[in-house]
Amino acid sequence: MAAGAPVVPTARSGYEGDVSTSSDADPAVMWFRRDLRLADNPALVSASEAGPVLPLFVLDPALWGPSGVSRRWYLTESLRSLDASLRRRRTSLSVVRGKPERQVVLAAQAVDATRVFVAEDFGPYGRERDERVEEALDAAGIELVRVGSPYAVAPGTVVNGSGKNYQVFTPFSRAWADIGWEEPCAAPTGGSWLELDSTVEIPTVDLPDGLEPPAAGEAAAAQRWADFVDADVTDYDDERDRPDHDRTSRMSTHLKYGEIHPRTILADLAGSGGKGRTTYRTEIAWREFYADVLFRRPDSARDYYKPEFARMSYASPGDDFDAWREGRTGFPIVDAGMRQLAASGWMHNRLRMITASFLVKDLHVEWQHGARHFLGLLADGDLASNNHGWQWVAGSGTDASPYFRIFNPTTQGKKFDPRGDYIRRWVPELADVADPHDPSPDDRDRVDYPHPLVDHKAERQEALDRYAEIKQ
């Protein structure tokens, strides 16, 4: 293709945007997925140094489905932000739709690229899809170059003395910290970029009333991180578990969309003591651990990490499941969490554990149903962290501890939301009852709040009995 010659997209190709090249020397396509972080991205540096590059962001249609309004909104804002950022670097955003493996090939052919740089990343749908991309590029005679690992520090590389991967968090986190990590990359310079003649119309998404979503984009991520380090990281150890105080870092969505690299966070935390900083690094280690586990066992995104759990008896998701999703189980802390999720696209991590435990241990519904519901609504919904968090709760994942992991929703509520402020905020009908954690039957009738869906003590025993059955 001659320099400057536009590629006219066709409806059939699914490629949106006219492309012209600023150079006709061996163009390449850089495939962005979640990785929007520019300054920090080794993949981007490698690609830009290798020649003219067409940055390509693949929009998966699944992200634009009927559920997940907040996540669609967040992606929209991310794209706007990325677009502005790329414009400053004299390039533009290209968006393709459809199956990634097909669209990457189409985009490469559109600029006559002979290489595609793919950030090494098993992506939001697992490693299998990356393998399909690899096959499609190979079939089209296009070279695939894997560069960097933007999602996590180094999934798949932490091993014990015998060369085996870890199945338990604590030894993993020690080995992971001992190995260490590289410094963040400098922003790419000197690369040349393919240019788009026009940019894509980025769709807008209407938000439900009352939703105050976080700012999106690389700059917003950096600002949020700086604010957190200044104000809240010192008390993070104690405060992170208090949904009523809401002093978690809120970095999860930025990390999920690659707007900040974990290496940047780790570098900023380095060299200073403080329990809060140590604890925050441990939380990053959990994210790294689950990235590592999913990298090794892509099947565990859907199937039980411990296969014997497939033999347990479960309830089909029915009316109970609907009550759980809609926040009307009659357990105030559970309902508060589920309503926060539905209304805001985010849920405090303590509540993720409580609500997940309730679905799996009290309602005996398989974790996959809950995980899918979470992924559809969470702006930060991440396949590895979400699904392995669910497996952890279900007892079927790493660090299985069935006897330790049946949360008492009432006790948890009183412990972590002692004054009931969190409940009152998200379950407003309980605002003036005497005990928002355990409203009396009369109070429930008076304010039209449901009676408990189940007897927790009985269902706890039922969960233990079902577990005992598969231990034979």
Partner DNA sequence: CTGCGTTTGTA
Partner DNA sequence: ACAAACGCA
Q: What are the residues binding DNA (CB under 7 A)?
A: 160-161, 164-172, 175, 282-283, 286, 349, 353, 399-401, 403-408, 411-412, 415, 456-457, 460, 471
The nearer residue to DNA, 18 or 303, going by C-beta atoms, is 303
Enumerate the β-bridge partners of residue 95: 16, 57
Residue 387 Cβ, how far from DNA at the closest point, in Å? Answer: 14
> What span, in angstroms and rounded, lies between the C-alpha atoms of 130 and 112?
22
User: Do the Cβ atoms of 143 and 116 come closer than 8 Å?
Assistant: yes
The nearer residue to DNA, 287 or 444, going by C-beta atoms, is 287
Residue 353 Cβ, how far from DNA at the closest point, in Å? Answer: 5
> What span, in angstroms and rounded, lies between the C-alpha atoms of 376 and 123?
16
Residue 354 Cβ, how far from DNA at the closest point, in Å? Answer: 8
The nearer residue to DNA, 261 or 350, going by C-beta atoms, is 350
118: enclosing H helix or E strand? strand 115-119
The nearer residue to DNA, 162 or 189, going by C-beta atoms, is 162
Residue 175 Cβ, how far from DNA at the closest point, in Å? Answer: 6
> What span, in angstroms and rounded, lies between the C-alpha atoms of 41 and 102?
24
Residue 4, Ramachandran bin (φ over 0: left; ψ between -120 and 50: alpha; else beta):
left
User: Do the Cβ atoms of 399 and 169 come closer than 8 Å?
Assistant: yes
DSSP string, 401-443: -TTT----HHHHHHHHSTT-HHHHHH-GGGTTSS-TTS--HHH
Which tokens hold the place of 85?
Answer: 């950022």
Pairing relationship of beta strands 53-59 and 94-97 according to DSSP bridges: parallel
Residue 408 Cβ, how far from DNA at the closest point, in Å? Answer: 4
The nearer residue to DNA, 189 or 401, going by C-beta atoms, is 401
Query: Helices 349-357 & 409-416, crossing angle to 10 degrees?
Result: 170
The nearer residue to DNA, 228 or 289, going by C-beta atoms, is 289
Residue 403 Cβ, how far from DNA at the closest point, in Å? Answer: 5
Residue 218 Cβ, how far from DNA at the closest point, in Å? Answer: 26
The nearer residue to DNA, 15 or 289, going by C-beta atoms, is 289
> What span, in angstroms and rounded, lies between the C-alpha atoms of 452 and 465?
22
